Structure 1
Amino acid sequence: MFATQLKALSLTFAVALSPLAVAEVDQHDASQHSRQIDIDSKVITEHKARINGDRLSYTAETGTQPVWDDQGHAVATLHYTYYKRDGVDDDTQRPLLISFNGGPGSASVWMHLAYTGPKVLKIDDEGYPVQPYGVKENPYSVLDVADIVYVNPVNTGYSRVLPDADGKMPSRDKQKDMFFGVNADIQYLAEWLNTFVHRHNRWRSPKFLIGESYGTTRVSGLALELQNSQWMYLNGVVLVSPTEIGIKREGPVEAANRLPYFAATAWYHKALDEQYQNMDLEPFLSEVETFTVNELIPALAKGGFISDDEKRRIVAQMARYAGVSETYIERNNLDVPTMSFWKELLRERGQTVGRLDSRYLGIDKRDTGERPDYWAELTSWLHSFTPAINYYLSEELNYKTDVKYNMFGSVHPWDRSNNNTGENLRLAMAQNPYLNVLIQSGYYDGATNYFDAKYTMWQLDPSGKMKERLSFKGYRSGHMMYLRRADLESSNNDLREFILNALPEQGAAAKY
């Protein structure tokens, strides 16, 4: 790498000193100055950190690796960052954690620079941006127990579709078939991971997938795709703020499952009567969950034929739990839309609450209306994540490119048909007795609410035969629960414990 840098430096001085050289550069074809990412590249840097109380050294490898089609032609290139702890003599005992974010269309920046990686954003203890922007050491990272690779799917981060041999880009329809859909996404990423594991000699290592939001759909599908198409078996899958992963929640269940999230948000903003406001959050939510399952779902199932007395009782209790008026509940026929709730809860205070994290407050042009003008939490997060990832990759990891880092890339329309990822995860677990699943959710997440996540866990294996390998952890924050410093610590500790507990004892065979 030093020789390459010296050559580039020499060329810079030669161009600066020679008029002829300047003329030659001006005459070059414009295509030589196109903004393109290297198809196959890597830069390795060395670092030290204090994690979980111990000093350790590690290498960071960031670069690109191609996606090949069936004929062996490079059709895209994916940007990744790979952290590997130094001084590990036996990789066969060293877990590899493979990390994806969601969207679909989101870069793998959020968990990279705010959750599991060795560096996190400079933010306050509740997750709000502060200037100057940048990164700081993450003392809770799981790098002490697992090496980590963060993968950016096509069109996110620096990852890009490539032109064909004739220099032509595939049509948008062709790109959709290749990359932009539930199943296409899973298939090409499984192939890419096979190459990555092979290049880095990690075939014998215990492997874990972690995905956030839509990334949970991705890793749920990958669990079976890796087994069936790549013959790669996992020890664990972690679902952070999961989507429905193909497990339907419709009608009365969908409507009722929102109430525990409404209650958590109202509790946080002190919008409840003293009876509930004086309770601690978890015992309060346990009471709301019991009401939801045992009373609200049956009431909603009766629709317009519910008795007047039962309806009045249900409406009154919902209003007390959610911190809104009985009139508001009744006008919505007990089926309160989340979009409307974000506007309604603090309407009298002249504030709205955030979608992905309802601790965040916004202000609208008008206090009337049925939805907020903007998402207060997302604008807050983009404040700090965008400058931090651009600075970090370039200045600390030394990855230089003029290509724009896509926080959100062009991947739509996304083909959501034939989403069987939840069933695929169940089947992968059934086929692989080593495979365990952890679900992590924030109580104040209104986009993928925590009670939906619990419901997904309950429905994932209807037989109940694998429930000992399924676990749930909740946190007092939102979609990205790790932004709150207390939850950054607890969520990493929960993840660390999950990884270590999912490693089989020496000689324990994968069998029932």
Structure 2
Amino acid sequence: MTIFRPLALLTACALSALAAPVAIAQDAAAEGESAQPAPPEPQVRTRDMSGTFGGQRINYRVTMQENLLSAEDGTPEAMVVTTSYVRTPRDSSRPVFFLFNGGPGSGSVWLQMGAFGPVRVAIPSDARDDGGPPYPLLPNPDSLLDVADLVFIDPPGTGFSYLLEDTDPERYYGLTQDAEAVAQVIRRWLNENGRWNSPKFLGGESYGTTRTATVVNQLEGSTYNDVGLNGLILISTILDFAAREPTPGNEMAYVVTLPSMATAAYYHGRAQAPSAAAIAEEARRFAIGPYITALLKGADLPADERASVRAELSRLTGLSEAYLDRADLRVTSQRFYKELLRDQGLTVGRLDSRYTGTDFDDAGETPDNDPSFYGIDAGYTAAINSWTRETLGYETDREYQSIGRDPGRQWDWSLGDNGRNAYLNVAPYIGRAMRENAGLRTFVAQGWYDFATPFFGAELSLNRTGIPQDRVEFHYYDAGHMMYVRDEDRHRLAEDIRAFIRAR
């Protein structure tokens, strides 16, 4: 049985939906006004393939599809690309997992070509630069196709997805606007593929975890058109943004990042502990005990207490007491990247502090760039373009936006139902969804060496009142933000998620 609607049917539907706008345009032209150009015809590319995933030989169909989104009056506004991997023959009892990356502005290249797609790009697993091409594309036995069909979504402004000419970016670039668009694409995919009663999982990485929270609010918070979910999968989680910002007076920003500083110091031999997990636990206890107490005392902090906190902070972070004293016990992440290995002329990475880089000079306050990003980005960009254009046959003159700038620069960070929006935290959306859906569970994956979305911040945002703790599970990996770049952790992550999906 055909899983996806044929191109002819898609074309017919597109033309039918556009009949009214075209007629209006013709009338306008007859009155001397210029007619609006017809929107592009949505493109669909399919390939039937096979591979071995999780030890099982799987036949599957990959479909790369453009989805035209329109305003309520029928005006075409955005083209959203989805890439689906569905086992053949179709089995509607199988789970379906909807995935996206973050940014905002990041395409799904990272999870698709690095973690869960049927092929992956081979880059160094030991925190070395990916160098120059060619970058091998290898079969990915860690793909989750043995336990779920996979649908990768590139929201507007990411990947090959884009806003049509004259579309106001405010319509799509924002917390709620983006979530509404993604929820619409998910509902449409369920309709077209007959999967409304399939088990459903939703998840993403980085801002993709924020998107997961806002999308679940759209899917399960809709009184008249609920989409029930079985699980949320959060990879490198950021839900509580206010606690992460080192604005003067916000002491929680230093509490949240302290355990990540400790694990980075441990990895580079500047702090001693039996393991990363061990020093992380020491740092957690210190952060929410003596450290936050000292910070909250502000100018009233006694000298002897300051000295005691400074000494322990130095032991955990590997930074000198003299430096910590000058920083008033408050070290931003940017300063830490530069200071930890300054005596070696090295900086450490933001996305993954295992990576090191060399700056133009050693005296600067912050790094020139993030070595854990420029150490992998060329390989991933080459991989997604090779896979989609050459293997799947997708045709476009547009550049793939692995990290698109426009969405982030124009993003609306307000939540319409949150008053002044003085404290941006989307974790309550997850709590509400879990309270109202007794079958909904949450899986959280965190890397020890991630400063972009620190593991302690994820923990603090999800252990709040209103979130059922018996249905939230945490998993930790010996890498950073994209823990799957390390071969051992890619396999562990896949096995952990397999177990989570099977336990529905």
State TM-score, norm by structure 1: 0.85
Aligned to 1:98: 98
Q: Write the deviation string for residues 316-350 of structure 1: whole angstroms up to 9, x where unpaired.
A: 01101101101111111111100000000000000
Shift of 1:480: 0.5
On the 8 A contact 2:53/2:145 being kept in 1, the answer is yes
Aligned ranges for residues 443-454 of structure 1 at < 5 Å? 443-454=448-459
Q: Does 1:288 align with 2:283?
A: yes
On the 8 A contact 2:243/2:252 being kept in 1, the answer is no
Shift of 1:498: 1.2
Q: Does 1:71 align with 2:42?
A: no
Aligned to 2:356: 361
Query: What is the rounded CA distance, in whole Å, between the counterparts of 1:213 and 1:312 in structure 2?
Result: 36
Shift of 1:127: 5.5
Q: Does 1:197 align with 2:190?
A: yes
- How large is the RMSD of aligned CA atoms in angstroms? 2.1
Query: What is the rounded CA distance, in whole Å, between the counterparts of 2:502 and 2:40 in structure 1?
Result: 37
Aligned length: 453
Which letter maps to 1:224?
Answer: N
Q: Which of residues 344, 352, 364 is equivalent to 2:347?
A: 352
Query: What is the rounded CA distance, in whole Å, between the counterparts of 2:337 and 2:369 in structure 1?
Result: 11
Which letter maps to 1:267?
Answer: Y
On the 8 A contact 1:46/1:59 being kept in 2, the answer is yes
Q: Write the deviation string for residues 423-475 of structure 1: whole angstroms up to 9, x where unpaired.
A: 1221111111111111111111111111111111212xx146x1001111111
**CA 1:448 to 1:246, structure 2 compared with 1: closer, same or farther past 3 Å?**
closer
**CA 1:377 to 1:37, structure 2 compared with 1: closer, same or farther past 3 Å?**
farther
Aligned ranges for residues 18-417 of structure 1 at < 5 Å? 38-88=40-90, 90-91=91-92, 93-126=93-126, 128=128, 129=130, 131-163=133-165, 169-170=166-167, 174-176=168-170, 178-229=171-222, 230-245=225-240, 248=243, 251-272=250-271, 276-277=272-273, 279-409=274-404, 410-411=406-407, 412-417=409-414
**CA 1:115 to 1:127, structure 2 compared with 1: closer, same or farther past 3 Å?**
farther
Shift of 1:159: 0.8
Q: Which of residues 431, 434, 439 is equivalent to 1:434?
A: 439
| SS of corresponding position for 2:64 | strand
Which letter maps to 1:63?
Answer: Q
On the 8 A contact 1:37/1:158 being kept in 2, the answer is no
Query: What is the rounded CA distance, in whole Å, between the counterparts of 1:195 and 1:44 in structure 2?
Result: 18
Shift of 1:485: 0.4
Which letter maps to 2:267?
Answer: Y
Q: Write the deviation string for residues 9-32 of structure 1: whole angstroms up to 9, x where unpaired.
A: xxxxxxxxxxxxxxxxxxxxxxxx
On the 8 A contact 1:208/1:235 being kept in 2, the answer is yes
| SS of corresponding position for 1:112 | helix
State TM-score, norm by structure 2: 0.86
| SS of corresponding position for 2:265 | helix
On the 8 A contact 1:95/1:205 being kept in 2, the answer is yes
Q: Which of residues 460, 465, 470 is equivalent to 1:468?
A: 470
**CA 1:37 to 1:118, structure 2 compared with 1: closer, same or farther past 3 Å?**
farther
* Identity fraction in percent: 34
| SS of corresponding position for 1:356 | coil
**CA 1:271 to 1:39, structure 2 compared with 1: closer, same or farther past 3 Å?**
farther
| SS of corresponding position for 1:151 | strand
Q: Write the deviation string for residues 238-289 of structure 1: whole angstroms up to 9, x where unpaired.
A: 11111134574572322122111001101111122xxx25x12212222221
Which letter maps to 1:104?
Answer: P
| SS of corresponding position for 1:221 | helix
Which letter maps to 1:291?
Answer: F
Query: What is the rounded CA distance, in whole Å, between the counterparts of 2:74 and 2:234 in structure 1?
Result: 32
Query: What is the rounded CA distance, in whole Å, between the counterparts of 1:303 and 1:141 in structure 2?
Result: 50
Shift of 1:41: 2.2
On the 8 A contact 1:221/1:422 being kept in 2, the answer is no
Larger deviation: 126-135 or 178-187?
126-135
Query: What is the rounded CA distance, in whole Å, between the counterparts of 1:245 and 1:289 in structure 2?
Result: 18
**CA 1:351 to 1:249, structure 2 compared with 1: closer, same or farther past 3 Å?**
closer
Which letter maps to 2:458?
Answer: A
**CA 1:94 to 1:247, structure 2 compared with 1: closer, same or farther past 3 Å?**
farther
